[in-house]
Amino acid sequence: MGDVDVREEAALTAELTARLRSGSGRRALSVTELLLPRPAYWRRTSAPVPAPLARQARMNLGRAWHRAFEAVLAAEGPTEVRVRRDGVSARIDHLAGIPLEIKTGATPVGADLARERPEWVAQLALYCALVGGSEGRCAYLRLSAGGRPAVSAFEVRFRSYERLRALLGDSEARLRTALEGRDPTPLPRCAWFGRGCEFQTAGVCACRGSEPAETLEFGSEIETVTEAPELGARWTGALAPAPPAAERWARFRELLYPRRTYFEQRDEGPEPPGEAPGFGPPDLYDRLLEALEGGPPGEVASLPPQGTGPEEEVVGWRDHPYLLKVSRAWDRYAPAEIASRFPQYELELGFRCARAGRSNGLVIVGYERAERDDDRLQVLSFAFRERDRWGERWNERAEALDRALQDAAPLGLPACPRWMADSCPYAAVCGCAERETRSQR
Ligand code: SF4
Residue 142 sits at φ, ψ, to 5 deg, of -85, 115
pLDDT for position 103: 97
221-259 b/e (C-beta count within 10 Å ≥ 16 → b):
bbeebebeeebbeebbeebeeebeeeeebeebebbbbbb
84 and 50 in a common domain: yes
Q: For residue 267, report the distance from its CA to the centre of ligand 1, in Å.
A: 13
Atom of ligand 1 nearest to the CA of 415: 3
pLDDT for position 202: 87
pLDDT for position 429: 86
Q: For residue 421, report the distance from its CA to the centre of ligand 1, in Å.
A: 5
327 and 232 in a common domain: no
pTM of the entire predicted model:
0.92
142 and 43 in a common domain: yes
340 and 280 in a common domain: yes
45 and 163 in a common domain: yes
Residue nearest atom 7 of ligand 1, based on CA coordinates: 421
Name the domain boundary from 217, 238, 259: 238
Q: For residue 146, report the distance from its CA to the centre of ligand 1, in Å.
A: 44
Atom of ligand 1 nearest to the CA of 410: 4
Residue nearest atom 5 of ligand 1, based on CA coordinates: 260
Q: For residue 366, report the distance from its CA to the centre of ligand 1, in Å.
A: 26
Name the domain boundary from 209, 238, 267: 238
* Structure confidence by residue, pLDDT tens digits, 259-271: 999 999 988 655 6
* Structure confidence by residue, pLDDT tens digits, 317-329: 999 999 999 999 9
424 and 380 in a common domain: yes
The CATH number of residue 69's host domain is 3.90.320
Name the domain boundary from 238, 264, 296: 238
Q: Which helix (H) or strand (E) holds 161?
A: helix 161-180
Q: Which residue type, as a one-letter code, is found at position 295?
A: G
* Structure confidence by residue, pLDDT tens digits, 180-216: 999 999 999 988 888 888 889 888 888 998 998 888 8
Domain-located, residue 13 = yes
* Structure confidence by residue, pLDDT tens digits, 219-251: 889 999 999 999 999 999 999 998 888 888 999
Residue 219 domain boundaries: 29-238
Q: Which of 40-54, 120-134, 145-159, 220-234 has the lowest average pLDDT?
A: 40-54
Q: Looking at the 3D structure of the chain, how many domains does it have?
A: 2
Residue 94 and residue 100 in contact, taking contact as beta carbons nearer than 8 Å = yes
